[in-house]
Amino acid sequence: MQHIIEGFLNFQKEIFPQRKELFRSLASSQNPKALFISCSDSRLVPELVTQQEPGQLFVIRNAGNIVPSFGPEPGGVSATIEYAVVALGVTDIVICGHSNCGAMKAIATCQCLDPMPAVSHWLRYSDAAKAVVEKKTWANETDKVNAMVQENVIAQLNNIKTHPSVAVGLRDSTLRLHGWFYDIESGDIRALDKNSKTFVSLSENPDVYFE
């Protein structure tokens, strides 16, 4: 904990004074253009990977970057999506998975989650991705896990389209969806292409999006 406190003290002394005007402008309002939904994994930092300033990304993070389908009793993820689209007017939503995801590895390798019943229940929202991956034979565990991560991104993109605010945005062409796979070791991002339905290099295809 001490290093976290020391980090804050350094921010307060060195960083904040240099960015005082930015934070003053953000004190009363925010105007992010994108909602970024990612895994809670400590190795993936959305603002760092995308080089965005405070106020530019509205972020949801949870185990497995999961978006439950819209239902009669919306939870925190649903409420945050609705707020981002309706109140903040974001124009893009990114769902970003990452290599070696612990949540997806647990599903792909059938790890026992009995000691973590809440996690087990939560990961059922990735059943569609598991069904696709289990139909194939994989050369090794790494390939299977990364395939699971990518299929899970696709599954969550399909889930988010059931949310009324998102459906309206897509209908009115005021909103676009993006599916990303971030490779921790290489720093590369592969994005889901709406035409080929495959993940392609974002650096080589910067205009690619899902829908």
* Residues tagged in the binding site annotation for Zn(2+): 39, 41, 98, 101
Element (H, E) at 192: strand 189-192
Q: In what order do the strands lie in the sheet with 34-39?
A: 57-62, 34-39, 92-98, 176-182, 189-192, 199-201
DSSP assignment of 21-76, as one string?
HHHHHHSS----SEEEEEE--TT--HHHHHTPPTTSEEEEEETT---PPP-SS--H
DSSP 99: T
Helix, strand, or coil (residue 105): helix
Q: Classify 6 in phi/psi space as left (phi over 0), alpha (psi -120 to 50) or beta.
A: alpha
Residue numbering of the annotated binding site: 39, 41, 98, 101
Amino acid at 120: S
